[in-house]
């Protein structure tokens, strides 16, 4: 079946804790609220693609549990094709706890659950049923699923976008199959050893990543914008100015928006501008998938 974009990635139930500050080690802290919301990097990216008007197929896995049922229903309601989402009998659905402080920054801990049990054969079967221009993926599923998807996509001439997140899941073997990589500051430092603090250090890091064989690099710097590096040239793209209240899922929204706009324009700088707007809208809102912008939301900033 034909799709605009295919996503391989995690599907999680997020427990989002809003707190006045991040607790000190050993502290007990009263929080402002606790909510369970559908998340996972793959699901967030897939929902972003759907809300921005593209036809999307998600390859992933949930457990055969109550959380898995809720996650699948939410994806369907958001317009994501879940034909290639597995339900794994003896594994629970991925679950993460995010603590969001008064600045909107989040710190997360969790388990990958079913996400870590997607096999090479599962990916081969799924991609055998998918015709797509772009493959978008992160590093929150099993290593074998990531490598299998990237290899197949390259063989079929798909444009492969790697969001190397979370930092703890990064492995260099995947880099050779990526056409574009989108690390944030933490991930960039993990990959290169370079601490990104400004445009100069972002460019230094982008050049080093390019040296690994990745042709196109976008280093994300949060409120400082993003640096696009391609063909030996760099462009700084500003972020939009908003009051950030919740950064959970912002990077995933950025990645999904990059894929959508690049599909239309074939222009990475334009795609980065579009994605900066999408991520800016996302961080200005609280909530889960319903806080991801739609095309109508984006038109306000065009």
Please state, in angstroms and rounded to a whole number, the distance separating the CA atoms of residues 61 and 140: 11
Annotated binding-site residue? 69: no
Annotated binding-site residue? 238: no
Q: Identify which of 142, 149, 105, 160 has the alpha carbon closest to the alpha carbon of residue 123.
A: 149
Annotated binding-site residue? 184: yes
Residues paired with residue 66 on neighbouring β-strands, in sequence order: none
- Identify the residue whose tokens are 């549990």: 65
Based on the residue annotation, tell me whether 297 is a catalytic residue of this protein. no
Annotated binding-site residue? 291: yes
Count of residues for the chain? Answer: 302
Q: How far is CA 94 from CA 19, 115, 210, 230, in A?
A: 23, 6, 33, 35
Annotated binding-site residue? 128: no
Annotated binding-site residue? 41: yes
Annotated binding-site residue? 219: no
Annotated binding-site residue? 42: yes
Please state, in angstroms and rounded to a whole number, the distance separating the CA atoms of residues 237 and 77: 33
Annotated binding-site residue? 224: yes
CB neighbour class for 53 (10 Å; exposed up to 12, middle 13-18, buried from 19): middle
Q: Cα-flanking dihedrals φ and ψ of residue 23, to 5°?
A: -65, 145
Contact 22, 229 (CB under 8 A): no
Annotated binding-site residue? 113: no
Nearest-5° angle of CA 227, CA 254, CA 120?
Answer: 105
Please state, in angstroms and rounded to a whole number, the distance separating the CA atoms of residues 151 and 124: 10
Annotated binding-site residue? 40: yes
Annotated binding-site residue? 81: no
Annotated binding-site residue? 225: yes
Annotated binding-site residue? 43: yes
Annotated binding-site residue? 299: no
Nearest-5° angle of CA 148, CA 231, CA 275?
Answer: 65
Check 65, 163, 179, 252 and give the catalytic one.
252
Estimate the share of the chain in helix, then strand, then coil, as percent rounded to the nearest 5: 40, 25, 35
Q: Which residues are annotated as a binding site?
A: 12-14, 40-44, 140, 184, 220-225, 246, 248, 251-252, 282, 285, 287, 291
Active site amino acids: 252
Binding residues for ATP, by number, are 184, 220-225, 251-252
Residues within the annotated binding site for K(+)?
246, 248, 282, 285, 287, 291
Task: List the binding residues for substrate.
Answer: 12-14, 40-44, 140, 252
């Amino acid at each position: 079946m034909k799709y605009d974009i295919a996503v391989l990635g995690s599907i999680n139930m997020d427990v989002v804790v809003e707190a006045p500050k991040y607790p000190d080690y050993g502290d007990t802290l009263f929080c402002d609220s606790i909510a369970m919301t559908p998340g996972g990097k793959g699901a967030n990216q897939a929902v972003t693609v759907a809300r921005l008007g593209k036809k999307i197929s998600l390859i992933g896995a949930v457990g055969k549990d109550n959380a898995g049922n809720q996650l699948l229903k939410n994806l369907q309601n958001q317009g994501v094709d879940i034909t290639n989402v597995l339900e794994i009998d003896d594994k629970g659905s991925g679950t993460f706890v995010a603590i969001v402080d008064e600045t909107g920054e989040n710190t997360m801990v969790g388990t990958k659950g079913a996400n870590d049990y997607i096999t090479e054969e599962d990916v081969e079967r799924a991609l055998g049923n998918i015709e797509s221009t772009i493959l978008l993926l992160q590093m929150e599923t099993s290593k074998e699923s990531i490598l299998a998807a990237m290899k197949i996509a390259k063989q079929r001439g798909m444009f492969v976008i790697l969001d190397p997140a979370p930092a703890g899941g990064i492995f260099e073997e995947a880099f050779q199959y990526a056409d574009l990589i989108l690390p944030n500051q933490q991930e960039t430092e993990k990959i290169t050893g370079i601490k990104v603090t400004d445009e100069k250090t972002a460019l230094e890091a982008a050049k080093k990543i390019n040296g690994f064989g990745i042709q196109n690099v976008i280093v994300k710097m949060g409120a400082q914008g993003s640096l696009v590096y391609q063909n030996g040239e760099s462009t700084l793209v500003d972020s939009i100015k908003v009051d950030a209240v919740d950064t959970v899922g912002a990077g995933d929204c950025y990645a999904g928006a990059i894929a959508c706009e690049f599909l239309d324009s074939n222009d990475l700088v334009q795609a980065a501008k579009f994605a900066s707007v999408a991520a800016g809208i996302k961080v200005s809102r609280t909530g889960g998938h319903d806080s991801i912008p739609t095309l109508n939301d984006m038109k306000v900033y065009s």
